[in-house]
Structure formats: structure tokens, C-alpha cells
């Protein structure tokens, strides 16, 4: 049986690369198959290069890079379905953890903080980014991609703001304020003008924009509207109740100091 030399192997490998095969596994699998065929069929009467050209032509219809393109398509689909499964799992898990955490928080039970923390982190750092990636692949239109990315980024930031607020961490207000700024100054105007130009979505653009502006305004009022100055002054001057223990353990005095 004929034994292929190192120079011939290098020639085959270089030719396969020139023909568009860049994935290492695919490249070396083709090399291995071609070498096996040539070693079995090459005789003293055959020319190596001629036999190679006939052998490599058996691997494709038009061009060898078709194999590379098919491989990339299969890898993309594999990653796509894996991301969809992860999206479903992370979405369901984050929703369940958030609901359980809220219940534990309202009932003042142990584990509320860590449960809410895990739910909000999974939602903002796994579920939302995966949504961005999948939507980016599905929709090829640039304006729709920008709207989607801006909206989901806003959701991720506001979720982290809620997490910081619930956990009483610093910078919670900064995150919430940043999300509102992006939502009001970037997302809503861009959404409105891109949808308003289309007669089919013109009416919905107006309605949805009104809802979004109203919702953002109510969220801002809920987060940043503090007590009035008059009410604050009244609270500062209010009678302070001081609890003092008496000599007798069965009685307690409450002294009011103006």
C-alpha cells in the first residue's frame, strides 16, 4: 500500500484551506479521508496530484467550502436551540424565585433576600441578554434591532435597580434613574418615530407611546416623590416618645419631650 509523504500531506492540507475550509475539525477530517482513499488507490501507474483532484471532487457538488457553510449552519442551529432551552429554563426559574422571594419578604420569613437576589440576577443577567441575542438573530432590520436592544437593556438595568433597592445596596437610585432616562429619551422617541412612519402601525405607536410615558412618569413619581417640606418640618418638631424603665420591673414610664 502506498504511504503518503509529509510534503503530500502539507499539499492536501493547504489546498483544503485554500478551498474555504477553516474549521479545524472539518479540515482534518477531510484530510484523513482523502489520505486514506489515496493510500488505498494510488499505484505506480497513477499520478498523486491527478488522483487527489479526482478524490477531493467527490466531497462536494460545486465547491468544497459548501461543507464549511453547512458545518457553520449546523453549529448555529445547535447554539440557537441550546440558547432557547436556556432561555426557557432561566425565565421560568427567575419568575418562580422572584414570586417566592416576594412572598417570603411580605411574610418576613427567612431566605427572602437570597431568593429575590437569585431571581433578579438570573432574570437581568441571563434571561434578558439571551432575549437580546435571539431577537437579534431573528430580526435583521436595523431599526427593530435597536429598539429591541434598547428596550431589553432598560429592563435589565431597572431590574438591577430593583435588586439594589430591595437589598438596600448603594446606587439603587442611580440605576433606576439611568433606566428611566434611557427609556424616556431613547427608547420611546425611537419607537414612536419608527412606528409612526408606517400607516399600519401609526395608531398603535401613539397609544403605546402614551402608555409608556404615563408608566414611566408614575414610576418616577413612585420612586422619587418624597414628603413635602412642611410635612418634614412637622415630623422634626413632633413630640418624641422616650421609653424609660422604672425602678419597678412591672411598670414603665413614657416621657414626652417637646
Asked if 102 and 184 sit in the same domain, the reply is yes
* Distant-in-sequence, close-in-space partners of 252: CB < 8 Å, separation ≥ 6: 243, 244, 245, 246
Domain assignment present for residue 258? The answer is no
Domain check: are 122 and 30 in the same one? no
Decide if 257 is inside a domain: no
Same domain, 136 and 27: no
Q: How many CB atoms lie within 10 A of CB 21?
A: 23
**Residue 54 and residue 106 in one domain:** no
Query: What are the CA-CA distances from residue 137 to residues 92, 134, 145 (Å)?
Result: 22, 5, 9
Model confidence pLDDT, tens digit, residues 177-209 = 888 888 888 888 888 888 888 888 888 888 888
> Is 68 part of any domain?
no
Q: Are residues 150 and 29 in the same domain?
A: no
The per-residue DSSP string of 10-64 comes to: HHHHHHHHHTT---HHHHHHHHHHHHHHHHHH--TTS-HHHHHHHHHGGG-SS-T
Residue 233, pLDDT score: 57
Residue 20 belongs to what domain range? 6-59
53 plus 83 within the same structural domain: no
Q: How far is it, in rounded angstroms, from Cα 50 to Cα 8?
A: 13
Cα(252)–Cα(258) distance, rounded to whole angstroms?
Answer: 20
CB burial readout 73-111, b (16+ within 10 A) else e:
eeeeeeeeeebeeebeebbebbeebbebbeebeeeeeee
Same domain, 52 and 148: no
Count how many residues are written for the chain: 258
Residues 192 and 142 in one domain: yes
Residues 86, 52: one domain?
A: no
The whole-angstrom separation of Cα 125 and Cα 52 is: 51
DSSP for 171-197, written as a single string: THHHHHHHHHHHIIIIIHHHHHHHHHT
Flag whether 141 is in a domain: yes
Quote the pLDDT of residue 92.
92
Half-sphere exposure of 33 (CA within 13 A, CB side): 11
What the block records as the C-alpha cell of 191 is: 419607537
- Spell out a b/e string for 136-165, using b for 16 or more CB atoms within 10 Å of the CB, else e: eeeeeeeeebebbbbbbbbbbbbbbbbbbe
Q: Do 106 and 225 belong together in one domain? A: yes
What pLDDT, on a 0 to 100 scale, did the predictor assign at position 239? 44
Percent of the chain having pLDDT more than 90? 4
pLDDT at 95: 92
Separation CA 126–CA 131 (nearest Å):
9
Q: Based on the domain organization, do 20 and 80 belong to the same domain?
A: no
Q: Which residues pair with 240 in a beta bridge?
A: 257
Long-range contacts of 97-101 (CB under 8 A, 24+ apart): 97/122, 98/123
Domain presence at residue 240: no
Count of domains observed in the chain: 2
Q: Report the pLDDT value the prediction gives residue 100, as an integer from 0 to 100.
A: 93
Question: Is residue 78 located within the same domain as residue 30?
Answer: no
What distances in angstroms separate CA 72 from CA 29, 31, 69, 129, 150, one per listed residue?
Answer: 15, 19, 5, 23, 29
Residue segments in the chain with a per-residue pLDDT below the cut of 50: 239-258
pLDDT at 40: 83
Amino acid at each position: 500500500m502506498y504511504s503518503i509523504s509529509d510534503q503530500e500531506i502539507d499539499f492536501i492540507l493547504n489546498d483544503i484551506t485554500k478551498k474555504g475550509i477553516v474549521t479545524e475539525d472539518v479540515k482534518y477530517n477531510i484530510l484523513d479521508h482523502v489520505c486514506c482513499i489515496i493510500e488505498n488507490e494510488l499505484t505506480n501507474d497513477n499520478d498523486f496530484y491527478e488522483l487527489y483532484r479526482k478524490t477531493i471532487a467527490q466531497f462536494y457538488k460545486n465547491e468544497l467550502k459548501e461543507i464549511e457553510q453547512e458545518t457553520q449552519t449546523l453549529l448555529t442551529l445547535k447554539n440557537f436551540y441550546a440558547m432557547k432551552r436556556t432561555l426557557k429554563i432561566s425565565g421560568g426559574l427567575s419568575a418562580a424565585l422572584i414570586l417566592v422571594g416576594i412572598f417570603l419578604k411580605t411574610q418576613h420569613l427567612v431566605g427572602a433576600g437570597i431568593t429575590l437576589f437569585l431571581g433578579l440576577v438570573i432574570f437581568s443577567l441571563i434571561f434578558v441578554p439571551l432575549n437580546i441575542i435571539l431577537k437579534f438573530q431573528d430580526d435583521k432590520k436595523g431599526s427593530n434591532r435597536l429598539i429591541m436592544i434598547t428596550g431589553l437593556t432598560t429592563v435589565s438595568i431597572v431590574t438591577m435597580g430593583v435588586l439594589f433597592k430591595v437589598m438596600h445596596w448603594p446606587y439603587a437610585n442611580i440605576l433606576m434613574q439611568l433606566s428611566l432616562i434611557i427609556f424616556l429619551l431613547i427608547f420611546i422617541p425611537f419607537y414612536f418615530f419608527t412606528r409612526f412612519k408606517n400607516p399600519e402601525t401609526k395608531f398603535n405607536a401613539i397609544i403605546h407611546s402614551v402608555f409608556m410615558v404615563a408608566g414611566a412618569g408614575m414610576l418616577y413619581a413612585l420612586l422619587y416623590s418624597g414628603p413635602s417640606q412642611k410635612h418634614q418640618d412637622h415630623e422634626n418638631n413632633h413630640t418624641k416618645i422616650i421609653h424609660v424603665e422604672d425602678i419597678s420591673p412591672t411598670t414603665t414610664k413614657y416621657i414626652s419631650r417637646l
